[in-house]
Structure 1
């Protein structure tokens, strides 16, 4: 408290602009942080800082926001389900901090929908909704039972592997109790959930003096932020534009977006169980 009071006495005429955190010392092996990179203030400390220094605006927890209803493209539709192209920067479903979301926007034209899976706010690609409760139960069970298949593409910071090679990553994950929704690597005996991803190296190139790797990703499990932390810790090459797990922290927001895209989704059709594949290209290959 004395430090806060001293700060107020000497800088009472100054108006703080924003508060953030940075890592000093070697990061723990289970977290994806870089020494010296700025990050949003942790969830655990935000209430304390807000009470001690209410005049300080803390760095935002959600970096992507368009602030208006987005356009969307319908990729597939039948009597039980609808799949659309979700743009980067829009939440999949309603949240506390961002009123604009794909489910609500789509419901204005289709009527009530049911959530069966989600994409992170910064992730683009195929997003599937159910049109009725029975279809929602069927599709949710398909996702839970791993009867669906997802193929993502991503651009990574740095160079990893040789084009054409395939790597399998196994890192059990769990939520960081001090900084949700950030995920960390935890042993399965310590509340960690098994997480497995396959990564195929498509191309490696250099852009403005920095190495970039284009990968195709197949998650076999569906943990929160699984691909993002598997790339950051498993490969040591985080996804470009990832302000949560990237090497540059909040400086990642200088990128136009998070370069992660659900390119292909295969799921069993509710009416007859036959597989349906919905695909939309990411366009990332043209950026390398």
Structure 2
């Protein structure tokens, strides 16, 4: 039944019932109308309006559910759909809305994949320029400072040595930035070694104690999936260092019973929900969609925040 005929039928039922009751009821209306007659008529009108409102609410309930879903939909959290019940205009509208969500999620995933691929290519280019151009220039400056310090008198030699230390620290920082932009260890030594180096590097430069543990014999994954796991761990550790006010963090990579590889990152900080999700977390969600993974950010078992990334293995990704 279409929405028009549904509303018309509900109103017809209410009006028809009211008419039947008026015909059969031993009620007369005098002129001028008596107070008791006015009370009875107003009471009947009230009952009729209440019944009509209740029936309309039942009939239009699917539209209410659709409206609530439309206000909360987020393409970074796929899978939100309405259940289709019955037939008619409302059911067709829900089917069309679900199909629109399917199309939008597919388009969002495709556009995110293109954007992330371009982003990684740009990161590689910047890292290469930092390593080749800036790194070599700072290395040349260090050599010149060393030669100048060897020939300089004692008062000036100390200042040149200080300049050498500052330049060496700048060179180390440039190399660290290049490693963050392009994790060469991930390509050369694999995911476990890259995550180990990431945890060690964060612990060294932020003072955050990062414990890590990884299963041996993890199933094979695509290079894209390994890069997503690394970037999510990297962004998660960055968020902990910046916002969580934590002192400890734990990073693990396990193989779940369903065959998925699960990255778990937890801390003892403030916990989620205190600030809205920023670009970092939304970027993590986009990366998860890129490889069909599920990302969950929730309070930890005791305190702090827990990030869980469940990544399908290579065979499931291809299917």
Q: Which has the higher strand share?
A: 1
Decide which structure has greater helix share.
Answer: 2
Scaled by the length of structure 1, the TM-score of the pair is 0.26
Question: Which is higher, the Rg of structure 1 or of structure 2?
Answer: 2
- Identify the structure with bigger relative contact order (alpha carbons < 8 Å, sequence gap 6+): 1
